Amino acid sequence: MNRSTQIKAIFFDIGGVLVKVDSSESIQKLSKKLDVSPDKIRQGMTRELLNEYEKGHLTSNQFYEQLLINYGSNKNMDMETFKGYWLDVLFPCAESVDFLKRATKDLPVWLLSNTNDFHYDILMKDFPFMHWVNGGTYSFMVGSMKPDPLIYEVAIKKSGFRPEEILFIDDLAANVQAAQDQGINIIHYVDYPNFGKELSIHFPELEYLL
C-alpha cells in the first residue's frame, strides 16, 4: 500500500466494486433455452474468449456466434434473445455507489473497467453513476485490459492528473498491483467496511466521504 497526502482524482473499477456480477439466473435461462447443462454454459464462455471480447477484438455478433459453437446446442437462439437473458446480471452495490456520488461533488471521478460493448450499453442505460463521473477508460474501447500497463497509461493521460495524485479502487489484487506499478495510489476493495478502514488509515484526508 502506498500513500499520498493529496489525492486529486479517483478511479473506480466497476465490477466487484460498484456493481455485483451474478450470472446464475442467466445461465439457468440459457441452459433451458439451449437444452444443454448449466456447466456447459459456464464452460462455453472461456476466459480466452471473454478477454478477446473485452479487448474489443471481437464484435458482439462474433462473440455470440462463438459462444453458440462452444455450447454445441442443436437449438436455435437469435441475438436479441441472448441479450435478453444477460440483462439481469449486474446489480448495484449501494454503499460504494453512494461513496462515488459523494466523491463526485468534490473530486474528478473516472471509471477504469474491463468490460465489453454489451455490458457498457446496459450500464449506460440502467446505472445512473455512469453519468455522474467525468469519464471512463474501458478495455473494449482501448484494446487493452487490466492489468496490462497500456490501459492505465491511457486512463492517466485522459484524466490529466499525475499518477501520484490519483487513487484507484479495484477488487482484484493483480489490477491494483499494476496500478501501483504505475505510481498510482491504490486500495484493494474487498467489501465496503474494509474499504472504509483502508481509506481512513492510508488516505485520512478522504475519510469525510465515508
- Residues 192 and 119 reside in one and the same domain: yes
Cell numbers standing for residue 104? 463526485
- Residues 97 and 181 reside in one and the same domain: yes
Determine the Cα–Cα distance for residues 49 and 25; give it in Å rounded to an integer. 21
- Residues 16 and 29 reside in one and the same domain: no
CATH number for 28: 1.10.150
CA angle 201, 204, 208 (to 5 degrees): 125
Residue 4 lies in a domain: no
**Which of 65 and 2 is assigned the larger pLDDT?**
65
- Residues 42 and 66 reside in one and the same domain: yes
- Tens of pLDDT, residue by residue over 128-157, are 999 999 999 999 999 999 999 999 999 999
Please answer whether residues 206 and 180 qualify as being in contact, where contact means their C-beta atoms are separated by less than 8 angstroms.
no
CA distances from residue 104 to 154, 159, 189 in whole angstroms, order as listed: 21, 14, 19
* Domain of residue 62, residue span: 24-85
- Residues 97 and 73 reside in one and the same domain: no
175 CB contacts (<8 Å, ≥6 apart)?
A: 13, 146, 147
Determine the Cα–Cα distance for residues 146 and 123; give it in Å rounded to an integer. 19
Please answer whether residues 112 and 167 qualify as being in contact, where contact means their C-beta atoms are separated by less than 8 angstroms.
no
Q: What is the number of domains present in the chain? A: 2
Calculate what percentage of the chain has a pLDDT beyond 90. Answer: 81
**pTM of the entire predicted model:** 0.90
Residue 21: count of CB within 10 angstroms of its CB = 11
- Tens of pLDDT, residue by residue over 65-102, are 999 899 988 888 888 888 888 778 899 999 999 999 99
Please answer whether residues 92 and 141 qualify as being in contact, where contact means their C-beta atoms are separated by less than 8 angstroms.
no
Residue 68 lies in a domain: yes
Residue 50 lies in a domain: yes
- Residues 96 and 67 reside in one and the same domain: no
- Residues 75 and 104 reside in one and the same domain: no
- Residues 65 and 137 reside in one and the same domain: no
